Amino acid sequence: MIDIIPAIDIIGGKCVRLTQGDYDRKTVYDDDPVDVAKRFADAGIRRLHVVDLDGAKAQHIVNYKVLERIATRTALEVDFGGGLKTDDDLRIAFECGASMVTGGSIAVKSPEVFASWIAHYGGDRIILGADVKDGKIAVGGWQETTERDLMPFVAEYMQLGIRKVICTDIGRDGMLGGPAIDLYRHLLDEQPGLYLIASGGVGSLAHIEQLEQAGVPAVIVGKAIYEGRIPLDGLTRLLLQK
């Protein structure tokens, strides 16, 4: 069974969602991300993807207190990303309760730092964020598209010990029209040992099932839950089948 990982994106301490990474297309869904996390835990969810969007924009960790509240008030396993650029950012994230951290921009702009994180913490605690726009890696809260191609980017870090990759098709993010199945199949064909976490475009339980049929190990779901396209009791039923 595919692992289902709800997302909580944070701006100003509130639970929000952006459309295609655009900070000007923001919807606030809840004033308290901890309440949202508790509802996920009550539905049987075991893992959470938390993104510090303020941190991604500021280039350093910002909403670590929200992370700490989620980690101390639920039993959820949290992977945390957004603005992690220094060893100090990483230390704060882990001290505030993150089980894993995700690095995207840092892996492009400071590869030696990111490689040192992998070497020190291991591939089980460091996740590579590979966010893609028109086949190229995007960084800085998706505000900047680089010239790095997805496949060699992932392969390079797999050689350094990365085993988990969150791959978001930015063009599909927040659109609810379906995930990038062909992209994920290609990535898994290239890297068969990869624990691939699909992100972007999921708008229904059927989309999750399509990812599972394609052999994708895990999926992040955000807007579809908040918009009621995927009810929490539907996720609970899927989880009970595992």
Q: Is 131 a catalytic residue?
A: yes
201's CB contacts (< 8 A; 6+ apart) are: 169, 172, 173, 175, 176, 177, 178, 179, 180, 207
User: What H or E segment, with its residue span, contains residue 184?
Assistant: helix 181-190
Q: Is 9 a catalytic residue?
A: yes
Structure tokens, 196: 């691939």
* Spatial distance between the Cα atoms of 29 and 222, rounded to a whole number of angstroms: 11
* Spatial distance between the Cα atoms of 159 and 149, rounded to a whole number of angstroms: 16
Q: Residue 79's beta-bridge partner residues?
A: 49, 100
Active-site residue identified among 9, 54, 79, 89: 9
Active-site residue identified among 52, 54, 131, 173: 131
Catalytic residues: 9, 131
